[in-house]
């Protein structure tokens, strides 16, 4: 039976630049050519989300949700699996 996974926010703002940096640093261990990767910036398009911050207060109140990982910790742990399996 496949495992059931969920995606719940951590209540922190993460920019696309932050996300790119986390990915480059963590993937650079297995793929050294990525360590010099620089993002290719383009103009914003209609519908692009410029700022996003999930409110986790309802999950915390109703479910007792407390994030166990920050985005960089989660990426660091999960990327090893993706490198091995994808």
pTM (whole model) above 0.85: no
Q: Is the pLDDT of residue 74 over 80?
A: yes
Question: Number of structural domains, the chain?
Answer: 1
Domain span at residue 35 reads 16-41+54-85
The burial of 39, by beta-carbon neighbours within 10 Å (0-12 exposed, 13-18 middle, 19 or more buried), is given as exposed
In this structure, is residue 34 part of a structural domain? Answer: yes
The burial of 65, by beta-carbon neighbours within 10 Å (0-12 exposed, 13-18 middle, 19 or more buried), is given as middle
In this structure, is residue 46 part of a structural domain? Answer: no
pLDDT digits (tens, 9 = 90+) for 38-66: 999 999 999 988 777 888 999 999 999 99
Q: Is the pLDDT of residue 4 over 60?
A: no
In this structure, is residue 7 part of a structural domain? Answer: no
Q: Which two tokens stand for residue 33?
A: 């050519």
In this structure, is residue 6 part of a structural domain? Answer: no
In this structure, is residue 9 part of a structural domain? Answer: no
In this structure, is residue 4 part of a structural domain? Answer: no
In this structure, is residue 30 part of a structural domain? Answer: yes
């Amino acid at each position: 039976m496949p495992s059931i996974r969920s995606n719940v926010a951590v209540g922190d703002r993460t920019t696309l630049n932050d996300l790119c940096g986390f990915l480059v640093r963590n993937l650079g261990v297995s793929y050294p050519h990525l360590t010099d990767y620089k993002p290719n910036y383009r103009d914003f398009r209609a519908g692009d989300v410029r700022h996003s911050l999930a409110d986790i207060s309802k999950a915390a109140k109703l479910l007792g949700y407390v994030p166990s990982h920050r985005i960089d910790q989660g990426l660091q742990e999960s990327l090893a699996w993706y490198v091995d399996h994808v």
